[in-house]
């Protein structure tokens, strides 16, 4: 029986709107997800920029179930399900697989530092075996700048050998092109996603899967255009334009900057709310962000038409 096609393309770690009481605003969230889908962008919900680790397991499962009931194809979803506690990862992953998602994005247990490859292999193995479902597709999440728990090439090779077809790929958010390049060359045809769009063209040249990027929350169409046209003569120019926007936004705290950008384009201040310990942008930062985006003629086409639809 042939393996299902790997996930490819541009995915967004979807930002999570909150109500005044800091509970997830699921209606706003689903509408943003629908806009992203309309821009040919997949949904890596519960990623770093989703404030996932500020959400409880029960909150994430409830949100995922409501997203599944919204009419969006679950195959476009790659929810983050990696937690510090193995039972939490199993519970989340089972819920995602039951929904029929295209894959799950799995952080290593990230609280304890300096753990061995043997320990990490055992942790991933426990989750895979306890979920015990042939439909499970795990995309490892390598983000050492945040987690401080790296996923090494030998560990990847060991997991692929032990769970062929199940361990389907990785998101490399190391910020180190040499590391991404090594993954692409060591595991050709495997599902390697870069953690941002800054190297998307180079990733595609090496048969990568695409990118999972924070700024896909606000600039998905442009990033997808490069993904779809990476072999065209205009590709280097598209890469340059995307990088310019990415670097401009990255001068500000990224999560609140993304949410402030959505808020501004919808005239919906509630979108700027973040969950503590994060804080919203200062007025000075908001002014600077708005100026940077205005200077670049930045727009979010179609956002208002979808995001301001009445709640169903």
- Average pLDDT by stretches of 10, the chain with 312 residues: 72 98 97 97 98 98 97 97 98 98 98 97 98 97 96 98 97 97 96 97 98 98 98 98 97 98 97 98 98 97 83 54
Residue 4 lies in a domain: no
CA-CA distances (angstroms) from residue 25 to 205, 254, 273? 39, 20, 10
Kind plus residue range of the DSSP H or E element containing 11? strand 9-12
Residue 102 lies in a domain: yes
Residue 248 lies in a domain: yes
- What is the rounded distance in angstroms from the CA atom of residue 291 to the CA atom of residue 137? 42
Task: Check residue 6 and give its pLDDT.
Answer: 81
Question: Which of 194, 188, 209 minimizes the C-alpha distance to 6?
Answer: 209
- What is the rounded distance in angstroms from the CA atom of residue 132 to the CA atom of residue 304? 42
Residue 1 lies in a domain: no
The gap between the terminal CA atoms of the chain, to the nearest Å, is 40
Task: Check residue 306 and give its pLDDT.
Answer: 87
Task: Check residue 159 and give its pLDDT.
Answer: 98
Task: Check residue 149 and give its pLDDT.
Answer: 97
**Count: domains in the chain:** 1
- What is the rounded distance in angstroms from the CA atom of residue 91 to the CA atom of residue 56? 12
Question: Which of 235, 280, 302 minimizes the C-alpha distance to 39?
Answer: 302
Dihedral (Cα; 232, 238, 240, 241), 10-degree rounding: 170
Range of the structural domain that residue 203 is part of: 9-307
Task: Check residue 127 and give its pLDDT.
Answer: 98
What angle (nearest 5°) sits at the alpha carbon of residue 5, between those of residues 13 and 157?
A: 75
Residue 295 lies in a domain: yes
Task: Check residue 5 and give its pLDDT.
Answer: 67
Q: Give this prediction's pTM.
A: 0.95
Tokens of 130: 């306890």
Task: Check residue 307 and give its pLDDT.
Answer: 73
Residue 3 lies in a domain: no
Helix or strand or coil: residue 171?
strand
User: What is the CATH classification number for the domain harbouring 136?
Assistant: 3.20.20.70
Residue 2 lies in a domain: no
Task: Check residue 312 and give its pLDDT.
Answer: 52
Task: Check residue 114 and give its pLDDT.
Answer: 94
Task: Check residue 1 and give its pLDDT.
Answer: 33
Task: Check residue 238 and give its pLDDT.
Answer: 97
Tokens of 179: 């590391």
Residue 299 lies in a domain: yes
Residue 224 C-alpha from the chain's centroid: 14
Strand partners of residue 104: 138
């Amino acid at each position: 029986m042939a393996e299902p096609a790997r996930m490819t393309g541009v995915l967004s770690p979807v930002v999570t709107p909150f109500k005044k009481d800091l509970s997830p605003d699921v209606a706003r969230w689903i509408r943003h997800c629908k806009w992203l889908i309309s821009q040919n962008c997949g949904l890596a919900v519960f990623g770093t920029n989703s404030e996932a680790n500020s959400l409880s397991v029960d909150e994430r499962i409830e949100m995922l179930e409501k997203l599944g009931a919204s009419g969006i194809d679950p195959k476009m979803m790659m929810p983050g399900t990696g937690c510090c506690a193995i039972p939490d990862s199993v519970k989340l992953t089972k819920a995602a697989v039951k929904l029929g998602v295209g894959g799950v994005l799995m952080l290593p247990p990230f609280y304890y530092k300096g753990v061995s490859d043997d320990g990490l292999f055992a942790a991933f193995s426990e989750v895979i075996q306890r979920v015990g479902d042939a439909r499970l597709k795990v995309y490892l999440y390598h983000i050492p700048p945040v987690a401080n728990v790296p996923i090494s090439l030998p560990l990847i090779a060991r997991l692929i050998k032990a769970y062929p077809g199940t361990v389907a790929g990785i998101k490399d958010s190391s910020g180190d092109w040499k590391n991404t390049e090594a993954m692409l060359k060591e595991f050709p045809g495997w599902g390697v996603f870069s953690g941002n769009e800054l190297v998307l063209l180079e990733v595609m040249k090496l048969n990568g899967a695409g990118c999972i990027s924070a700024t896909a929350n606000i600039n998905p169409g442009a990033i997808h255009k490069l993904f779809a046209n990476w072999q065209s003569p205009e590709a280097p120019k598209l890469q340059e334009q995307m990088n310019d926007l990415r670097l401009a936004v990255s001068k500000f705290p990224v999560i609140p900057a993304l949410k402030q950008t959505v808020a501004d384009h919808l005239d919906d201040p509630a979108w700027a709310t973040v969950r503590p310990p994060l804080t919203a942008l200062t007025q000075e930062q908001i002014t600077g962000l708005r100026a940077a985006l205005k200077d670049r003629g930045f727009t979010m086409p179609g956002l208002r038409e979808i995001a301001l639809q009445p709640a169903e």
